[in-house]
Chain A
Amino acid sequence: MGMKNFFLKKSLWVFHFAGASCNNCDIEILDVLTPRYDVERFGIQLVGSPRHADVILVSGSINQRDKSRLEEVYNQASKPVFVVAFGACGCTGGIFAEGNTFAGPVDQIVPVNAYIPGCPPKPEAMISGLSKLMQTI
């Protein structure tokens, strides 16, 4: 089992699910792929299809319409898959938590393995969150 976890840890492919995001977190996610932070050093890369994903990175608040889509993407992903709630909206709902279209924070819809709070989180915070996720594998 140790060897399997080693390979999984060394090559985490991230699928980015943007809920009703204000786009700020999405820009910060792209920052970690830039020369300054370069997460490809750790084997992390963004993929376009949930079938290839090891990590589903959920940003933005999840409203009534996003809820079923998030569940669908989670079911479509090939297991084992980890879910990371990104930003204040993903973790708790943030300023949208009282809104009437809000469908609950991410962990009430799919199981969440790591939380990265912030509005938006700094790229350093995202790298720190992913490395903590790697330690749990």
Chain B
Amino acid sequence: MAETLFYFLVYPGLLFAGVIGGLLSWFDRKVTAQVQFRKGPPVLQPFYDFFKLLLVKETLLPARGAPITFLVAPVLGLFGATAAGVFILVPLFNLQIGFEGDVMVIFYLLTIPSLTYIIGALASGNPLASVGASREIKLIISYELTFLLFFAAIILKADQTMRMSEIIQMQTQTAPFIGSLSGILLFIAGVFCVQAKLGMVPFDIAEAETELSEGSFIEYSGTVYAMVKLTRYIMLFILPALIAGFLMSGFHLQGWGILWAILKLLAVVLLLTLIRNTNPRLKIKQAMRFFLIGMNALVIIAIALTYLGL
């Protein structure tokens, strides 16, 4: 029992994923600043933001709306992100714990944060937040099928095993999946799905800082907003880690393996950041068409290529 709690709360769960996610968030902001020829924030900036929200700021409740749902939603989102993080990171770091979920558990747990953003936004009773929530719903409808097909293609490539540790083991014994043609197509589709899941710029339709003034999160303040921030830091760590595990043969934390693991993670986050910095925000219609037609076709081609052994 104590051991399980340790896995969830300290390593590789809440504390570890939060710290690494915060550092990656700084990396994201620093690269953004460098792209715009700015200097950028200091390394600990995401932690200053988090602790300021957690300790200093007052938590306000909206006058209309459901206060309890509004307050509980971010906590549930944090729980979902942490649980998904544990199930992704345990096989990645090659830890041995009793229960190891298959990749479908990861898929469902990864939807929880987006769902709680919607629930929290609708509970706030703010019209801008409800517009953000409805856009988030449409975005989920568009990318979730692609993401599911992406999982299916990976399972197919790994000889129909549903266990993440076996998928990683298989890539270590033969070659990383990204080395094949279908692997490259899957990497492209996977990166765009992660981009949409993180709500980063071409797909920040729900948040839309300039038109909806932060959309779904407009009413959050203080401690609950700190929870939302932490959830987003954790998602910024575990989703690139998932891509690295599925396509780049995971992390091997011995000797030089640690450096390789860091490089793989930073490469994926760098790619996400560069996409974020070189694209304008899409309309919801364009985003839906992009995923439902373009990305789905890409993944289906990848599945067909897998059958042909490419």
Q: Given the known A-B contacts A38-B39, A41-B41, A80-B57, are A11 and B49 also in contact in the complex, defined by CB atoms under 8 Å? A: yes
Cα distance A34–B217 when bound, in Å? 26
Q: List chain B residues, Cβ under 8 A from A78.
A: 57-60, 221-222
For B128, give the chain A residue with the smallest CB separation: A49
Q: List chain A residues, Cβ under 8 A from B217.
A: 49, 52
A36-83: which have CB < 8 Å to B? 38, 40-41, 43, 47-49, 51-52, 54, 76, 78-80
Cα distance A10–B38 when bound, in Å? 18
| B163 at the binding interface (Cβ < 8 Å) | no
Please, what's the 1-or-0 string for B214-240, where 1 marks a CB less than 8 Å from any CB in chain A? 100111111001000000000000000
Q: List chain A residues, Cβ under 8 A from B225.
A: 51-52
- Whether A40 and B209, one on each chain, are in contact in the complex, defined by CB atoms closer than 8 angstroms, is no
Q: List chain A residues, Cβ under 8 A from B209.
A: 48
Q: List chain B residues, Cβ under 8 A from A47.
A: 214
B174-221: which have CB < 8 Å to A? 209-210, 212-214, 217-221
For A6, give the chain B residue with the smallest CB separation: B48
Interface centre among A7, A38, A51, A79 (most CB of B within 10 A): A51
Q: Give the shortest distance, in Å, between B164 (CB) and chain A (any CB).
A: 36
Cα distance A17–B230 when bound, in Å? 28
- The segment from B29-37, B113-121, B243-251 that touches chain A is B29-37
Cα distance A89–B110 when bound, in Å? 50
- Whether A4 and B55, one on each chain, are in contact in the complex, defined by CB atoms closer than 8 angstroms, is yes
- Whether A10 and B60, one on each chain, are in contact in the complex, defined by CB atoms closer than 8 angstroms, is no
- Whether B52 and A11, one on each chain, are in contact in the complex, defined by CB atoms closer than 8 angstroms, is yes
Cα distance A34–B51 when bound, in Å? 27
Q: Given the known A-B contacts A7-B48, A7-B51, A40-B33, are A48 and B222 also in contact in the complex, defined by CB atoms under 8 Å? A: no
Q: List chain A residues, Cβ under 8 A from B42.
A: 41, 43
| A8 at the binding interface (Cβ < 8 Å) | yes
Cα distance A16–B36 when bound, in Å? 22
| A99 at the binding interface (Cβ < 8 Å) | no
For A37, give the chain B residue with the smallest CB separation: B38
Pick from A10, A35, A40: contact of B52, CB below 8 A: A10
| B111 at the binding interface (Cβ < 8 Å) | no
Q: Given the known A-B contacts A10-B52, A11-B48, A43-B48, are A51 and B219 also in contact in the complex, defined by CB atoms under 8 Å? A: yes
Q: List chain A residues, Cβ under 8 A from B38.
A: 34-35, 38, 40-41
Q: Give the shortest distance, in Å, between B277 (CB) and chain A (any CB).
A: 14
Q: List chain A residues, Cβ under 8 A from B37.
A: 35
- Whether A48 and B214, one on each chain, are in contact in the complex, defined by CB atoms closer than 8 angstroms, is yes
Cα distance A48–B60 when bound, in Å? 16
Pick from A3, A38, A48, A80: contact of B213, CB below 8 A: A48
| B40 at the binding interface (Cβ < 8 Å) | yes
Cα distance A7–B55 when bound, in Å? 9
| B45 at the binding interface (Cβ < 8 Å) | yes
- The interface of chain A, by Cβ under 8 A from chain B, is 3-5, 7-8, 10-11, 34-35, 38, 40-41, 43, 47-49, 51-52, 54, 76, 78-80
Please name 12 pairs of A and B residues whose Cβ atoms are closer than 8 Å in the assembled complex, sorted by A. Answer: A4-B56, A7-B48, A7-B51, A35-B38, A38-B33, A38-B40, A41-B39, A41-B40, A49-B217, A51-B225, A52-B217, A54-B57
Known: A54-B57, A78-B222. 10 other contacts (CB 8 A): A4-B56, A10-B44, A35-B38, A38-B39, A40-B29, A40-B41, A47-B214, A48-B212, A49-B219, A54-B52
